[in-house]
Amino acid sequence: MSDSETGDAYQFEFVSIDGDKLPLAEWRGRPVLVVNTASFCGYTPQYRDLEALWRRYQPRGLVVLGVPSNDFGEQEPGTASEIKQFCETNYQVDFPLTEQYRVVGGAAHPFYRWVAAQLGEAGAPRWNFHKYLVGPEGELAGAWPSQVKPTDSAITAEIEGMLPPA
């Protein structure tokens, strides 16, 4: 295995929807929920739940990171500015978003190739709004498919266990 298939999530960097560098190492010591998103999907209303998680847990350290992807059903065809405007206007999204990335296959962003190496191909995203929780040490601490809402107790219990008491 190469270093990018081992190691931790902090080795990866995205580019924000505004074009700035977004290294995961910036959030070392904090849990990060990474979610591949799309604007025109049956699961798109999960943006509301992701924003609720962000507002609830961000003061205690949680980071929610949306990764727009057009990989599934071509449900994220927009430009960065169109995606950002859609998310802010329709869901008041305030959590960080990346530029659009591939999340499956050989051309996937290295973070998603690392996830597949950690979990096996079955752990790669199968559709939009697949959720991965990165623990404070950069480890992959949880994965949930699209149909599991971001506010599901399985996810919030994992997050709660990684945060300081309220």
166: in domain: no
Range of the domain at 95: 3-161
Active site residue 41: yes
Instruction: Catalytic residue, from 9, 33, 41, 162: name it.
Output: 41
């979990």: which residue's tokens? Answer: 119
**Domain contains 20:** yes
CATH of the domain at 157: 3.40.30.10
Taking the CB of residue 161, how many other CB atoms lie within 10 A of it?
A: 10
Task: Round to whole Å and give the CA distance between 122 and 17.
Answer: 28
In tens, the pLDDT along 42-66 reads: 999 999 999 999 999 999 999 999 9
Q: What is the pLDDT of residues 64-106, one digit of tens each?
A: 999 999 999 999 999 999 999 999 999 999 999 999 999 999 9
* Domain annotation covers residue 39: yes
Enter the pTM of the model: 0.96
Query: Based on the structure, what is the number of domains in the chain?
Result: 1
